[in-house]
Amino acid sequence: MRKRLVLVAIVLVMSWPGTATAQRGDDAQIEKGRVVVAQVCTTCHTTLGRMLQVHKQTPEQWRELVFFMISRGAQVMPDEIDAVTAFLVANSGRERPAAARPAQRDAK
Amino acid sequence: MSRTSHPSRRDFLAATAATGVAMGIGQVASSAPLQTAASRPDNPLAKGEPEIYRGTAAGAVLAQLRAAGVRTLFHTNTSGFVPFWEAVYAAGDVQVINMTHEGQAVAAAAGYTMASRNLGFFFGSHVGIPNALSNTYNAWKDRVPLLLTYSGGQREEGKDGFEWWDNTLGPTEAFTTWRGDLEPEDVTDTLRLAIKFAFGPPSGPVTLTFGAGGEKVEAAIHPLDLATMRVGSRAPADAIEKLARWLIEAENPLFVVGSQVGIEGAQAEMLALAEKLSVPVAETMHSLYANFPNDHPLFVGELQAQRYPRKQDLLISFGESFTAGREDERGLTASGPRRIVHISHDSQALGRSFVPDVSILSDLRAAIRDLSDAVDAIATSDRIARIRSTRLAQVSALTSSLKQSREIALRAHFDSSPVTWERVGFELEKVLDKDAVIVPELGTQYYKIYRQLKLGGTNKQRIGRTKGDALGWGVAAAFGVNLALPERQVVALQGDGGFLFNQSEALWSIARYEAPMLIVVMNNHSYNESRARNMLNGGTFYEAGKDFNGYLGDPNVEFTKIAEAYGLKGEKVTRAADLGPALQRCLRSMRDGKAVVLDVDVAVDGAPISQPTWYQKHSIAEIRKKRLNA
C-alpha cells in the first residue's frame, strides 16, 4: 500500500501540467525542479499533490521550506535549489491566499 | 489469584537451560530461517562454587547485585524498604539516586544503562507502577536492560484493598521481557534469572515485586559479568560467505546501520567494513545511537531520503530492525533493492517489521568481522582496492554536494531571530568538547541540529531520542547518562513542549547530585511537530488559520525560572548573536559543577498559519457566578 502511495505521488508530480504554469516561471527551471521533487520529496511526502494544492506561500517562504527540508535531510543539490523552489512556486496554492509567517525576522 | 508466579528451582533450571545458561550451552536460534547459531563458549553464569550469603533476604538482593557489579540504584519515595536500606548502608559502596517521580526514575535508569552498559535497577512503590509505565514503554522500545522492582504492599487479591489492584505487575506485561517475584526462599535465583531476561535477547525491562525483607536466609551469590550476559550467537560460515559474494558482486550496495551496532560497541568494525568497499551507509530516522560518523564521506543520511544509489541491488541491515509502517518502510521500498539482508543479534527482531530475503542471527561485531574476513578471502586485494576507489569517488561527490547544500541552508538565515535550529547546532558544535554526549528528545526538526554536529566515531556521541517517542524521557535520561559518564559534557536537547511533559521533576535530582549538565530548551512556543503534521494536507483548521493543539505561548513559560527554583542556573537567548556568549557562560557554570537550563527562542517551522497564537480560550474566572471571599 505504501509503495503504491509513493508511486501515485511520483506519477502525480511527473504528470503535473507544465503548460498551465509556463507563464509563472522559467519552463526549463520548473521542469528541472519537477524531476527533482519527484525523486526527492515523494519518498516521504506521499500526499505531495494535495500539499501543493492547499499551501499557498510566497516564493521566499517556499525557498525557506526548501532550506528547511535540506537541513532536515532532503537530498537536494546546490544547483537544484532554485529549480525546486521554482517548481513549488509555480504549482502550489491554488486553493487559498498566502499566510504571513509571523515570527521570523532577519537581523540587520 | 492472577499474581505472577515466582519460579521454583525446577522451573529455574528448566528456564535457564532453555536459554543456554545453566548447562553452559549456547542459544540455538530456531527462528532464524537460514541457519543455526553456533554455541557460545562461555557460560556467563555460575563458575565454580558460589559464595553463600547469610543475612536478610533484602541483603541477599543487594549482595547479588554487587556481585554483578551494580553500584548505582534508582529510587522513588516509599516506605517498606527498610531492610534493603540497611543493607545499602552496611555495604558502603552503593549509591542510591533519589528521583521524585517513578517515571523519571525509570528514564534516568534507562539513560544510565544505555551509557554504561551496566544494569539499571530501580526500587519503589507498586502504586507508582502507573507513573512508571510511559518510560517503561520507552525502555522496552529501546531494548534497555532494566530491573524495576516494586514493594508489594499488603496483598488483598480480589478485595479492592488499600493501594491494591489484582495482578500487580499485569500493567507492565506489554513492556517487559519477564515478570516475577523476589521472595525470600529463592531470592537470588530469581534475581539472576531476572537479570538474564533483562539482557536477553531480546533485552528489555523486567518487573519484579520486591517481597524480600528482613527474613533470615542463606542464599547463593554468583559473580556475574554483565558485559557477557546477553546470550550470544554467531552466523555459520556458509551464510557469511554467500553474503560476502553478494557484497563483492553488488554494483550499488547500501548499508543501514542500527542500534545493535551501538549496543555492542561495534562502531569501529562497522566503519572498517564500510571503508573496505566504500559502501554508502544510511540510518533510519529512529536510530538510537550515533552508530556511524555523520561527517564521514560514506555517510548518506536517512534511508528514506536516498537518491544514491538510486537503484540499490543489495541492502544490508546491520542491527537495524526498522519501524513498520513508517518512513523506514518507504526507505526499504522506494529504491527497490533486489536483495535485503537483515543481521541481528535478536532472533525476535528478524523479519518482524519487514521481510528480508536473508535473515542472519549473529552478534553484530562477530558478523561484521566475519564478513570482512570473508571478503578478503574471496576477492583479491587489487579487486577490493578498485571497488573501493571507484565507489568512494561516486559517494564522496554526493556527500560533498549535500554538505554544500546544508551550508547554504545554514547561512540563509544565520543571523535571524528567533534563532534557527541550524544555528543552534552550529554554535553547539563550536563550543562542546569532542567527546560530549547529546541526548535529544525533539521532533524531526532535530535533524537540523544534528546535521551541524559531528557525531559518531571519535566525535560526540548521541543517546536517543528514545524509539518509543513517548515524551517526558529526555531530561532524566540525560541525567542518567551523566551519572554513567561524569567526565563528559552531557547535553539534553529538549523542546518546550516535551519539557512540559513532567520533566521539571528531574531537575531536583540534577540539582541534588550536582550533575553539571546543559539542558537546552528549543522554545518555539508550540508543539511544532504536531502542528506541522496536522496542517500538512490543509483542511478546515488550516483554512481558518487555527490550531486547537499546537500553541504553547500562553502562558509563556519562563524555563529559566523553573531552573532557578531548583537552584540551577538559567539562561535565556532570543537573538542569534547572543547564543555564542550565552553558551560560554553555560560552559563556565558546568565547569563549576552547576547545571544550566538554556532557553532558546527558536523558529517555528512548517506551513505558516494565519493565526499562529490562536487557541480555544476558556476562563473559569470569567464564567464563575459566585465571587469567592477575599
Contact A2/B at CB under 8 A: yes
Angstrom CA distances, B133 to B139, B171, B173, B469, B558, stand at 10, 8, 10, 13, 29
CA nearest A70 in B: which residue?
A: B406
> Is B610 a domain residue?
no
Please state the length of chain A. Answer: 108
> B430 CA to chain A: closest CA distance, Å?
18
Question: What percentage of chain B carries pLDDT values higher than 70?
Answer: 89
B95 and B211 share a domain? yes
Structure-block grid coordinates of residue B496: 518546550
Residues in chain B closer than 8 A to A51 (CB atoms):
536-538
Angle at B441 between CA B440 and CA B447, to 5 degrees: 65
User: Total structural domains in chain B?
Assistant: 3
Last residue in a domain, options B389, B407, B425: B407
B512 in any annotated domain: yes
Same domain for B594 and B457: yes
* C-beta of residue B462 within 8 angstroms of C-beta of residue B456: yes
Question: Apex CA B124: angle with CA B121 and CA B125, to 5°?
Answer: 150
Q: Of the residues B196, B228, B260, which one is the last residue of a structural domain?
A: B228
> What averages of pLDDT result for each successive group of 10 residues across chain B (630 residues)?
39 36 28 35 56 97 98 96 98 98 98 97 97 98 97 81 91 97 96 97 97 96 95 96 97 95 95 98 90 96 82 92 69 71 95 88 98 98 97 95 97 95 98 98 91 96 95 98 98 97 96 98 94 85 89 96 98 98 98 98 85 94 81
**B609 lies in some domain:** no
Predicted ipTM?
0.83
Nearest CA in chain A to B282: A73
Interface of A with B in 63-92 (CB under 8 A): 63-64, 67-68, 70-78, 81
What tens digit of pLDDT does each residue of B100-159 get?
Answer: 999 999 999 999 999 999 999 999 999 999 999 999 999 999 999 999 999 976 677 888
Q: Cα(B529)–Cα(B606) distance, rounded to whole angstroms? A: 8
Classified as helix, coil or strand, B299 is strand
CA closest to B449 among chain A residues: A71
Q: Single out the residue of B473, B489, B524 nearest to residue B595, CA to CA.
A: B489
Listed in order, strand segments (DSSP E) in B319-368 are 340-344, 358-361
In angstroms, what separates the C-alpha of B5 from chain A's closest C-alpha? 43
- Domain spans in chain A, listed from the N-terminal domain onward: 2-91
Residue pair B37/B27 in contact (Cβ under 8 Å)? The answer is yes
Task: Report whether B383 contacts B565 (CB < 8 A).
Answer: no
> Which string of DSSP letters, residue by residue, matches A47-68?
THHHHHHH----HHHHHHHHHH
Q: Do A103 and B605 touch (CB under 8 A)?
A: no
Instruction: Using CA coordinates, name the residue in chain B closest to A67.
Output: B409
Locate the chain B residue with the closest alpha carbon to A60: B412
Q: Computed from CA positions of residues B218, B223, B225, B231, in that sequence, does the dihedral angle turn out positive or negative?
A: negative
Of B302, B306, B538, nearest to A54 by CB-CB distance is: B538
Return the H-helix or E-strand segment holding B130: helix B129-141
A4 Cβ contact partners less than 8 Å away, ≥ 6 residues apart: none
In total, chain B counts a number of residues equal to 630
Contacts of A84 in chain B (CB under 8 A): none
A26 pLDDT band, cuts 50/70/90, is confident
Q: Is B422 exposed, middle or buried (0-12, 13-18, 19+ CB in 10 A)?
A: buried
| CATH assignment at residue B372 | 3.40.50.1220
User: Are B509 and B535 members of one domain?
Assistant: yes
- Segments forming the whole domain that contains residue B173: 9-33+40-228
Looking at the structure, tell me whether residues B202 and B241 fall in a common domain. no
Question: What does pTM read for this prediction?
Answer: 0.89
- Please give the backbone phi and psi of residue B573, each rounded to the nearest 5 degrees, phi first: -125, 125
DSSP type of residue B314 = E
Q: Per the CB < 8 Å rule, is A43 touching B404?
A: no
Cβ-Cβ pairs closer than 8 A, A with B, add up to: 127
Answer whether residue B624 is part of any domain: no
What is the chain B residue with the closest CA to A106? B416
Take residue B310 and report the three cell numbers written for it: 538510486
* Axis crossing angle, helix B9-18 with helix B187-199, rounded to the nearest 10: 20
- Cα–Cα distance for residue pair A72/B301, rounded to 1 Å: 10
Q: Please identify among residues 537-566 of chain B the ones whose CB lies closer than 8 Å to any CB of chain A.
A: 537-539, 542-543, 545
Give the list of residues 6+ apart from residue B280 with CB closer than 8 angstroms, or none: B253, B254, B255, B274, B298, B299, B300, B308, B309, B391, B395, B398
| A43, A70, A99: residue with CB nearest B406 | A70
Chain B residue numbers with beta carbons less than 8 Å from the beta carbon of A50 are: 537-538
pLDDT in tens, B274-310: 999 999 999 988 889 999 999 999 999 998 888 877 7
Question: Which tens digit of pLDDT belongs to each residue from B489-500?
Answer: 999 999 999 999
pLDDT value, residue B47: 56
Residue B629 in any domain: the answer is no
Contact between chains at B545 and A64 (C-beta distance less than 8 A): no
B319 shares a domain with B214:
no
Regarding whether B272 and B215 lie in a shared domain, the answer is no
CB of B286 less than 8 A from some CB of A: no
Q: Are residues B500 and B571 in the same domain?
A: yes
Which pLDDT value is given to residue B332? 67
Instruction: Map residue B588 onto helix, strand or coil.
Output: helix
Same-domain status, B349 and B277: yes
Q: B308 contacts in A (CB within 8 Å)?
A: 75
Which ranges in B24-128 belong to alpha helices (H)?
Answer: 57-67, 82-91, 102-116
Q: Given the DSSP bridges, would you call strands B51-56 and B216-221 parallel, antiparallel or unpaired? A: antiparallel
The residues near B208 (Cβ < 8 Å, ≥ 6 apart) are: B147, B148, B149, B150, B169, B179, B180, B181, B182, B190, B191, B194
Query: Are B330 and A2 an interchain contact pair (Cβ–Cβ within 8 Å)?
Result: yes
Query: Would you place residue A42 in the very low, low, confident or very high pLDDT band (cuts 50, 70, 90)?
Result: confident
CATH number at residue B155: 3.40.50.970
Residues B401 and B548 grouped into a single domain = no
Q: How big, in percent rounded to 5, are the helix, strand and coil portions of chain A?
A: 65, 0, 35
Q: Is the same domain home to B182 and B260? A: no
Same domain flag for B291 and B204: no
Residue among B584, B556, B553 nearest B571 (CA): B584
Q: Are residues B426 and B388 in the same domain?
A: no
Question: Domain for residue B1, yes or no?
Answer: no
